[in-house]
Amino acid sequence: MAGLVRKSFDDPEEVRPFEAGMGEVRLVNQEAGAVGRGVFRPGWQWTKHIKPIAGTETCQAAHMGYVISGRMKIVMDDGEEAEFGPGDFMICPPGHDAWVLGDEPCVVIDWQGFADYAKR
């Protein structure tokens, strides 16, 4: 087992910007996989700002994350939907659209679904 590890989203291994400057994902890599901090600006929507990068009809990443600030609505392909806000833990399977609610950026830490998210 390795000793202590310290990494910072302020000095990530990779930064992936979204279309139209609507946010970004900053990644730090761990042995178990990438951990990302996504910043989604007001007006961001997956189908508008990630779909052109992903090339799929809906998001096919599975997410497990924690919402730090802002609000996001997620609608699954089967119609199930939920809103997430500060302090919420979320598990979201593949097959969904999502968008920011309100006028505050939504900041999410995700340790499952950002490894290939918005990857060009």
The C-alpha atoms of residue 81 and residue 18 are separated, in whole angstroms, by 23
Q: Structure pTM?
A: 0.94
Q: Which two tokens stand for residue 91?
A: 């598990």
Residue pair 58/77 in contact (Cβ under 8 Å)? The answer is: yes
* Cβ proximity of 58 and 36 under 8 Å: no
At residue 46, does pLDDT exceed 60?
yes
105/33: higher pLDDT = 105
Cα(24)–Cα(117) distance, integer angstroms? 10
DSSP per residue, 9-62: TTS-SEEEEPGGG-EEEEEEEETTEEEEEEEE-TT-BHHHHTHHHH-SSSB---
> In the numeric block, which tokens belong to residue 81?
């939907």
Look-up of token digits 């890599």: 29
Predicted pLDDT at 67 = 98
Q: Once rounded to an integer, what is the mean pLDDT over residues 81-106? A: 98
- For residue 42, give the nearest of 84, 100, 83 by alpha carbon: 100
Q: Residue 118 pLDDT more than 90? A: yes
